[in-house]
Amino acid sequence: MACLRFCAYGQTKIRQGRGLYNLTSIFTIYYKTFIKFYRKCKVQRDDTLRTEISSKGQSSITNIDIICDQYIDIVFNKKITSDTFLMGLRSPEIVKAARPGQFVMIRVRAGSDPLLRRPFSICGIRDDLFLVLYRVVGQGTAIMAEVREGERLSVLGPLGVGFDVPKNDQISLLVAGGIGIAPLFFLAQSMKIRNIRFMAGFGSSGEIIRIERIEGPRVDVSIATDDGTEGYTGTVTALLEECLKKHGPEKDSLSVFTCGPRPMLKKVAAMTMEREIDCQASLEASMACGLGACQGCAVKTSSYEGQTYFHVCRDGPVFPAQSIDWGGL
């Protein structure tokens, strides 16, 4: 009922014709109403959590999804390349709950400009810090680049469904394009198995995100540059092609994990699907809420398990490659 009254209010305001200003304020009210609704759900969720913890004992806590909405201390925010930064944020709760492939929604500064939080993959964890590796592409990330140690940001997370980490002795091929290295670094960091080949592609040597500059255990990465200024000359998908040929006879023990620009993801999906190799792809989409409420991040499925659309934020961002309608992206 409250919702219907709210819609009627919105339509009246639009009819009054105050244009963009009214649309912005209506959207702001919608957003605030949604956040109130979310917080109410969260309280109920926390109550359920407390009930489950008390009935099952403390050891069950790690098996339960926890979403935190917190102001978090920024411990560092350092430049890695000309346009890439690594931010360390202190949250023992997010560190405890985070799984590789999950993301957080960050409000880049207090107030309503920019209005929406921005989504970022969790790139790794160290003690009670989690890391965010980000590239400056617009207003929100430019503001983030100015954040200083000791400041606090509002963060919601961890969100979404991450990678399904193989437990047996699989050979894991990690294929990153540019900033897509972020979630794959966390995945590599958390894999118990050491049978990993990590490949990362960049335009040229100046754009390479040196993984050794990201804190945490050492991970070896094969670099490909489009212009051949460092590492393998060519795209990271060409490097993957060579690797798949080499491991051809063992294809049943291969698993591919990928994140990067959509054309690269499409290519990796096609290469793995035609060889019937297991592949999990982390997608990006425009996100307003990050919680499955606004429909802003819908992508078409390949009619997978009876579903027509996925919400990237809630059903993903990691999906089995064969579940996505790549032609429609």
Ligand X SMILES: Cc1cc2nc3c(=O)[nH]c(=O)nc-3n(C[C@H](O)[C@H](O)[C@H](O)COP(=O)(O)OP(=O)(O)OC[C@H]3O[C@@H](n4cnc5c(N)ncnc54)[C@H](O)[C@@H]3O)c2cc1C
231 to 290, contacts with ligand FES by CB under 6 A? 287-290
- What does 295 interact with, of ligand FES, ligand X, none (CB < 5 to 8 A by kind)? ligand FES
Closest approach of Cβ 139 to ligand X, in Å? 4
Sequence-ordered alpha helix ranges (H) in 170-235? 181-190
Could you say whether residue 297 binds ligand FES (CB under 6 A)? yes
250 Cβ neighbours under 8 A, 6+ residues apart: 171
* DSSP calls for 216-284: SS---EEEEETTSSSSEES-HHHHHHHHHHHTGGGGGGEEEEEES-HHHHHHHHHHHHHTT-EEEEE--
CB-based contact 86:80 (threshold 8 Å): yes
State which residue, 116 or 221, has the beta carbon closest to ligand FES.
116
- What does 103 interact with, of ligand X, ligand FES, none (CB < 5 to 8 A by kind)? ligand X
Closest approach of Cβ 161 to ligand FES, in Å? 12
Stretch touching ligand FES by CB under 6 A, among 40-48, 77-85, 90-98, 292-300 = 292-300
Structure tokens at 323: 């579940």
Q: Under the rule (CB under 6 A), what is the footprint of ligand X?
A: 103, 118-121, 133-135, 137-141, 179, 182, 284-285, 287, 317
Could you say whether residue 293 binds ligand FES (CB under 6 A)? yes
- What does 289 interact with, of ligand X, ligand FES, none (CB < 5 to 8 A by kind)? ligand FES
Closest CA to 175 of 94, 312, 270: 270
Could you say whether residue 12 binds ligand FES (CB under 6 A)? no
List beta partners, residue 248.
none
Length of the chain: 329
10 Cβ neighbours under 8 A, 6+ residues apart: 26, 29, 30
- What does 137 interact with, of ligand X, ligand FES, none (CB < 5 to 8 A by kind)? ligand X
State which residue, 182 or 297, has the beta carbon closest to ligand FES.
297
State which residue, 166 or 178, has the beta carbon closest to ligand X.
178
Could you say whether residue 118 binds ligand FES (CB under 6 A)? no
292 Cβ neighbours under 8 A, 6+ residues apart: 311, 313, 314, 315
Q: DSSP secondary-structure letter at 302?
A: S
- What does 293 interact with, of ligand X, ligand FES, none (CB < 5 to 8 A by kind)? ligand FES
From candidates 161, 277, 313, 318, binder to ligand FES by CB under 6 A: 313
Closest approach of Cβ 22 to ligand FES, in Å? 22
Closest CA to 73 of 177, 152, 155: 152
CA angle centred on 187, ends 183 and 190, rounded to 5°: 140
CB-based contact 230:207 (threshold 8 Å): no
Closest approach of Cβ 293 to ligand X, in Å? 15
Q: Which amino acid is at 281?
A: A
Could you say whether residue 35 binds ligand FES (CB under 6 A)? no
Using CB under 6 A, list all residues that contact ligand FES: 287-290, 292-297, 311, 313
